[in-house]
Every structure is written in structure tokens, then in C-alpha cells.
Amino acid sequence: MREASDIFINFGRSLNESFMKFTFTLPKTKSATSVGLILLALLSAGPMQSHAQIKKKLRALFIGNSFTYYNTMPLLVQDIANNMGDTLLVDSYAPGGYTLEQHSTDATTLTMIMKGDWNFVVLQEQSQRPAFPDADVTADVYPYAHVLDSVVHKFNNCGRTVFYRTWGYKNGDAGNCPTYPPVCTYKGMDSLLARRYNQMAVDNKGIVAAVGDVFKQIISTAPAIELYDVDNMHPSAAGSYAAAVTFYTVFFRQNPMMITFNYSVPPGDASVIRQAVFNVVYKNLPLYYVDSYDPAANFTASPTGLSVVFNSSGTTNASNYSWDFGDSKTDVTANPTHVYTAGGTYTVRLIADNCLIADTITKSVTVSGTAIKEAGLLAGVTVFPNPASGEISLQLPVPAQQISVEINNTMGQTVLSQHLSSDKINIRFLSSGMYFIQVRDNVSGAYTTLRFTKN
């Protein structure tokens, strides 16, 4: 199959500056996640769950070709973000006619991706290749999308690959029509592009920026808006604006109808374009995998007396856990055991997060019983050696696995809190001085406090 080519243009803005990370939590509706600067916490006594987007300043790298650089589209996304009060820093590498195969071995492409700290890396294939026959796409497109996606994830811990779903040529691909009839029309070529970009996203757990679907909606409902340049392939100013609004909506998950920046597009046309992005993308974020990999928090609680075993196995896509047990005690392990000091009903909150996204759920947990202090099985626990330098050991009457300890300094500050796996505790990191260690049996609720000295 033959590919079109065009001139080389490249642009970018320097990102040589430091970035501070801010954390903000906002509730998510079923249709989208709000992003902003206001913290809204919704708590209740019963089960309650809300998604949250933790975003303040985002960075996006655009890798593509002329469909990306026309009208300096990435900078339009940045301008829209600024207009909305958000912050987006962009850079781009888009040599004319470039393929993902070429990008996969291009030193400039790889170096830019490997800079790291990108929230999004946008990949755009040469405009015809994804519409070629299955065998060609399997050999010439999918492998290189995977190569680049692998580099994104290797060097960007929280980076997500976004596949720039482009559009069919206005009159189809005339150059390849004689040998491959499916691309003879806009509709035929466009449907193939949609299918192949979706497959790239599925194969690589990526996101689809469905600009081509927005084009299709506008062509159907507002054909007077000219989305194509004079060559009937590249985007006009309106076409690039449609792409930029789509990317802003995908990156920030904000309602595009709130945008007031029109670029050079007549206000009426700009409004129609934003409405199309709202209908196609914003109302259907899961369809394009925008929130498919967000964490979803869930947990079970199994009380036995004052002791509760919490299990977060129902949580998905999370890398960090933050528990608030409702009694001023917290934990950051996935499946903690917590012992309350008094019976009652407590509101327990779990925040599960993965990079920039967090999800919160609260449930009520009821426990009963009376705590045992300095009594029962732990009355005779001892700590040795004392003084110690590298580690201390506990003489325990019960298995160490059911014991949790908390070490406090003489100022009352907690310097260590953990569940034991053995009777030995590493104290090499502690400064010399006196410490108090509270030893708690997570089964019976008994606890005792001992004193030791670190040399």
C-alpha cells in the first residue's frame, strides 16, 4: 500500500522548569470526573463511594506527523487548558509523514519519551496505515504501537498512552482505492481507522482520543463546518480545534461545553464543535477507556470482639492504600488488622490510589467488647537485648504473626508501626535514646507497653 508524505515541521515549547505536585480530591459522577482546586468530601454513616481525580498540573507529549502539527494543534490544547484555569505543558515531535515504525527507532522520539514525568504520551500513526489490509496493519502498525507504549510505561511511572484516532480522507484514499476498495470512500476509510485505533488501545491498555468520531458527528450534523484543509486530508483550523477540544476533554475529563476559547473558528462553529465533543466523547468516556484503569476502592471487614480484619481484595487498579479506622488510627497496608479500644460503631474510610487517580469508600463497622490492658497473655512479655543497637527481640506467649507493635520516642512521636512477621524488630534506623514499645495482640485485644534503650 502507498503512503502519502509531506514536508517536515517540528515545534515544541521548553519544559525546563520544576514542577510541584498538588493533590486535590473531588467527587466523580457517573459520566465524568471533575478536576479543580476545591476539595469536597462527602461522608456518611453507611457505605459511600466516590471517584476522585488528583490533578493540578499535567504534561503531555505528542508524537505523530502532520495531522498533529497542523495549526500547532498541541499548543491549542494548552491554550484551552489555560483558558479553563487548568495547567497543561506540552511538547511535540511530528515529522511530516512519519509512521509509528519510524518513531520506534528515532532517537529524538525515544529521548523525548524517556525524559519521563509525562502524564500522557499521544501516539498518532501515519494517516493511511491503520486503514490498510489486516495483514499490513498487523505487521506494520500494531508491533510499533506496542514498542512505543512499552517505552512510555518504562520511563513514565504514571504515564498513560493516548492513541490519536484520526479521520478518513474527505473523499477516501484515492491512491490506494484501485487495489483496496474499502478505502475508496470517507466512510470506508474512517471505519477502518476507528477499528484499528481501538484495537491499539485495547492491546496496550491505552486511551482513545476519538477525534475521528467527532469529525464524523460534525460531518453528519453540521456539514457546513469545513473540517478539512484544501487537500481534503489535513485538518482545517476547525478540524484542529475539534482535535484540541477532544484532547482537553480526555486529559482533564472536563465538560467541553464550558470552554470559551474559540481559536480562529467562528463562535457559532466553535460552539457546535464543543457540543459534538460533549456528545461523542464527554458523555462516553468509558467507551474510549478514559477511566477504564482508574482504581476502584472496596473492602470487607470481619470483626472478632474488638479486633477487625480488613480485606481490600475487592479493590482494583490500586497501588497505594490509606485507611482511616474512625478512631484517629490509620494504616497504609493493603489488608490491615485493627484493634479498637472500645466497642461501638466506627466509620472506616479507605482511599485507594494509582498515580493521579484516587477512589474513596466509607463503611460503618461495629465492634463489641472491652479492651484488656497490661493483662492476659501479654502480661509477661519482655524485650531483649536492652539496651540494643541493631535489633530487638520480643519474648511472646503467642505467635508473632498476630502481634502489632508501635514504637514511640520520649516526645510521644510514633517512629515505627507494623505488624510482625517474626519476633525480631529492626531498630538500626532509630537515633540513640529511650523508646516505648506498645505490643498488641490483634486477636485478644490485650496490649502492654515496654521501655528499651537504643545505643
Domain count, the chain: 3
- Could you tell me if 221 and 317 lie in one domain? no
Domain that holds residue 360: 300-370
Half-sphere exposure of 409 (CA within 13 A, CB side): 10
**Of 399, 391, 380, residue with least CA distance to 442:** 399
**Of 24, 11, 19, 113, residue with least CA distance to 58:** 19
Is 280 strand, coil or helix? helix
- Could you tell me if 116 and 167 lie in one domain? yes
Residue 405 C-alpha cell reads as 507493635
DSSP-assigned states of every residue in 26-38: --B-SS-B--SS-
- Could you tell me if 81 and 149 lie in one domain? yes
Using the 3D structure, point to which of 288, 318, 348 is the last residue of a domain: 288
- Could you tell me if 236 and 364 lie in one domain? no
Q: Note whether residue 18 is domain-resident.
A: no
Q: Note whether residue 385 is domain-resident.
A: yes
Using the 3D structure, point to which of 227, 253, 288 is the last residue of a domain: 288
- Could you tell me if 109 and 223 lie in one domain? yes
pLDDT by residue for the chain (455 residues), tens only, comes to 777 655 444 443 333 322 222 222 233 333 333 333 222 233 333 444 444 444 468 999 999 999 999 999 999 999 999 999 999 999 999 999 999 999 999 999 999 999 989 999 999 999 999 999 999 999 999 999 999 999 999 999 889 999 999 999 999 999 999 999 999 999 999 999 999 999 999 999 999 999 999 999 999 999 999 999 999 999 999 999 999 999 999 999 999 999 999 999 999 999 999 999 999 999 999 999 999 999 999 999 999 888 899 999 999 999 999 999 999 999 999 999 998 988 899 999 999 998 878 999 999 999 987 554 444 567 778 899 999 999 999 998 889 999 999 998 877 788 999 999 999 999 999 999 988 898 888 887 788 888 899 99
